[in-house]
Structure 1
Amino acid sequence: MPSDSFAPGRSTGTGGPLTVSASVTRGITGLSLWWLASPAAFVLASVVGLSSRDRDPFWELVSVVLLWSGIGGVVAAPAVGLLIAYRSRQRPARRRFAIMGAVSLAACALALLFWEFAMECAPGQTC
């Protein structure tokens, strides 16, 4: 009788190797690339938003889509990637997404701190 312990996509039940499907690997790679492309999306959103002085609705929409794509890459990509890596039991991917989340959290904290200082009134002015 053949053993099912080496069937693709199954674990042995005793901590044996677990094969990871190609779609999980592609998903992890895609989320990592989305996170890496987020700064470029922010820069492009600001360039498109500042250069469209005539307020063309198409370029306004492009700017908003790029901005939300960047925000989603910073916030959602590490969280979803960590969840997928945890469910598929991939330790290196878990470490990578945990580091990505920590870097994203630090960048968001610095952005909020900068925003707070940028919104302060200059000395002698009333707000």
Structure 2
Amino acid sequence: MPTKNSAPVHNAPSDSPSTLPASAVRVIAGLTLWWSASPVAFILSTVVGLGSRDRDPFWEIVSVVLLWSGIGGVVVAPAIGLLIAFRLRQRPARRRFAIMGAVSLAVCTLALLFWEFAMECAPGHTC
């Protein structure tokens, strides 16, 4: 049974987000949303790129920006989020960003594998 004279421990790391600064919570949430929105950015990039058959320069730029936003969300967001979560000693955020990184790595590996198979020459054709 604790006594009234026991001193509270102030140096113990806390996993509750209420002890974090508001800016850190916003950055973690923003990186999570950026990663979550990456598939939407890829799909919109494809739709805008295929929809602008007349090669309007504005829509070409929009398509490229959406493409790089999607790539950045898949690659950069989990890496930066993991670094921030390690720095702030946030175990739930570390787990979340580690899972996001693993899923991103798996999707990128499958996309590269698909790309390799899609670029193969058909039998009887020379490339």
**TM-score normalised by the chain length of structure 2:** 0.88
Q: C-alpha displacement at 1:16, in angstroms? A: 5.2
Partner of residue 124, structure 1: 124
Equivalent-residue separation in structure 2 for 1:16 and 1:43 (angstroms): 41
C-alpha change, 1:81 and 1:16, in structure 2 (3 Å) is closer
Equivalent-residue separation in structure 2 for 1:17 and 1:62 (angstroms): 42
Partner of residue 69, structure 1: 69
**TM-score normalised by the chain length of structure 1:** 0.88
* Worse-matched range after superposition: 73-82 or 16-25: 16-25
Q: C-alpha displacement at 1:55, in angstroms? A: 0.2
Listed as ranges, the gaps of 5+ residues in structure 2 are 1-7
Q: C-alpha displacement at 1:30, in angstroms? A: 0.3
C-alpha change, 1:16 and 1:109, in structure 2 (3 Å) is closer
Listed as ranges, the gaps of 5+ residues in structure 1 are 1-5
Partner of residue 99, structure 1: 99
The count of residues paired between Structure 1 and Structure 2 equals 117
Partner of residue 10, structure 2: 12
Equivalent-residue separation in structure 1 for 2:13 and 2:89 (angstroms): 12
Partner of residue 115, structure 1: 115
C-alpha change, 1:44 and 1:24, in structure 2 (3 Å) is same
C-alpha change, 1:24 and 1:16, in structure 2 (3 Å) is closer
The answer to which structure, 1 or 2, has the higher relative contact order (CA under 8 A, 6+ apart) is: 2
Q: C-alpha displacement at 1:17, in angstroms? A: 4.1
1:57 corresponds to 2:38:
no
Question: Aligned letter for 2:102?
Answer: A
* Worse-matched range after superposition: 27-36 or 15-24: 15-24
Equivalent-residue separation in structure 2 for 1:48 and 1:91 (angstroms): 39
Structure 1 residue runs of 4+, over 4 Å off? none
Q: C-alpha displacement at 1:25, in angstroms? A: 0.4
How do residues 5-44 of structure 1 correspond to structure 2 at under 5 angstroms?
Answer: 12-13=10-11, 15=12, 17=14, 19-44=19-44
Asked whether the 8 Å contact 2:13–2:89 carries over to 1, the reply is no
Question: Aligned letter for 2:10?
Answer: T
Equivalent-residue separation in structure 1 for 2:70 and 2:115 (angstroms): 17
Equivalent-residue separation in structure 1 for 2:30 and 2:72 (angstroms): 13
